[in-house]
Amino acid sequence: MGLIQRLERIPVGKFHYQLLFITGLGWMFDAMDTGIIAFVLPTLAKEWSLTTAQMGFIGSMGLVGMAVGAVFAGELADRFGRKRMFMATLVLYSVATGLCSVAWSLESLLVFRFLVGFGLGGQLPVAVTLVTEYAPSKVRGRFIVLLESFWGVGWLLAALISYLVIPRFGWHAAFILGALPALYVYHIFHRVPESVRYLLSKGRIAEAEVIVCHIEESCGVVKVPDEVFVEEPLAEVNTDRNSFRALLSAAFIKRTLMLWCLWFGIVYSYYGIFTWLPSLMVNNGFTQLKSFEYVILMTVAQLPGYIAAAYCVERLGRKGTLVGFLVSCAICAYFFGQADNLTEILAWGCGMSFFNLGAWGVVYSYTPELYPTRIRAIGSGWAAAIGRIGGIIAPTVVGIMLAKQGNFGDIFAMFTGVMIGVAVIVALFGTETKGLRLDEISKE
């Protein structure tokens, strides 16, 4: 029995939940650092007399860094390991967030936000690749959606920090708190193993064997005395120095283009909506403090959205769940833009948050499943990078629309159209992966 077969037969146990939790905390810190800027912007705009266009640039600069970071980290993770890049990117974005607290001008803040984005963009596809390569087939989708649910916790944490800290201690303190996750890297170093599939793809069988034996022991799997160990074939060894070209080969181009459209649309809608949401609420007549309170309520709605997606993704499949959540989010976004009283704003806003973040969970589950080990991280990285282009554009587009006296309804009607378009593309060109082993899905 080979190592992959032994890995697949291990029942879900302590190791898997520990990996999910440790990686999820890193994911939570990602979201916290991303969310802080959305809540800092209204205060910063007043203090620095920023225009709406300049606010849009601040929101977009982090996405520029995320696009670049996703590509580079994905490539490096396929060459040097998932664990190393997970740790390196966490340290980078945490330190850069701390540097934002000493920004003395718009230009310096833009530089620091680029570095934050570079680390964040690099960590997300690496983390999801690592968990994907360890989660058993029957629960893989659920595990990745639950991993993504830590994003909602991190965004909620950012909202609470901003609500409790900024009014009392100023925006500098919020960024200083965002630097603390750098201390977490020590825990990752000692508790997170390298991916077995990655080690096998590099021919490092002995290291992979030690890890698998440790996991079997922690999960109570008893090795049969006469069980024969068969070395894995090394067909996955990555000798292709142009991994990007493989993404556009005949075997993968349909999947790649579908994923790029999916990522572009969902990132465009997410960052366009949630980066601006506190400021849009202020512009719609609410006080800054009340806007923070209402956005916190909408953020709480993300958590049951993840739970619902985790339930549906192993029953309805990736495609069905993703299309359903995208269409539902589009409907909520449209009516959110048309709402004219607080009850409707909160109801449709919570629905929009519920379905948007649930869809995000499925996207992160779906993406790495569509590529083989040798290009899984870079494939996920490039999909995320294309998505970040949408995230770069969206905050700027909203800023321009506001500058041209665009109203609340027009902005959210635009996001409705984007999400409907993405849902159609996934429905027509997506491949269902529910219940399949990674090697069954990603065969060339």
Q: What is the per-residue pLDDT across 309-340, written as a single tens digit (0 to 9) for each?
A: 988 988 888 899 999 999 999 999 999 888 87
The enclosing domain of 253 has a CATH number of 1.20.1250.20
Residue 441 covered by a domain: no
Residue 442 covered by a domain: no
Res 238: pLDDT: 45
Residue 298 covered by a domain: yes
Res 329: pLDDT: 95
User: Which alpha helices (DSSP H) does 339-368 contain, by range?
Assistant: 342-366
Mean pLDDT of the chain: 82
In the chain, which residues have pLDDT < 70?
A: 1, 222-242, 275-276, 278-292, 405-406, 436-444
- How many residues does this entry show for the chain? 444
Residue 131 covered by a domain: yes
Residue 444 covered by a domain: no
Dihedral, 380, 381, 386, 391 alpha carbons, nearest 10: 110
Res 325: pLDDT: 96
What tokens does 306 get?
């993840």
CB 63, CB 120: distance < 8 Å: no
The distance of Cα 282 from the centroid of its chain, to the nearest Å, equals: 27
What tokens does 296 get?
């916190």
Residue 393 covered by a domain: yes
Look up the domain containing 379 and give its range: 3-436
Residue 64 covered by a domain: yes
The total domain count for the chain is 1
Residue 443 covered by a domain: no
3-state secondary structure of 362: helix
What tokens does 108 get?
């310096």
| 131 closest CA partner among 120, 150, 147, 119 | 147
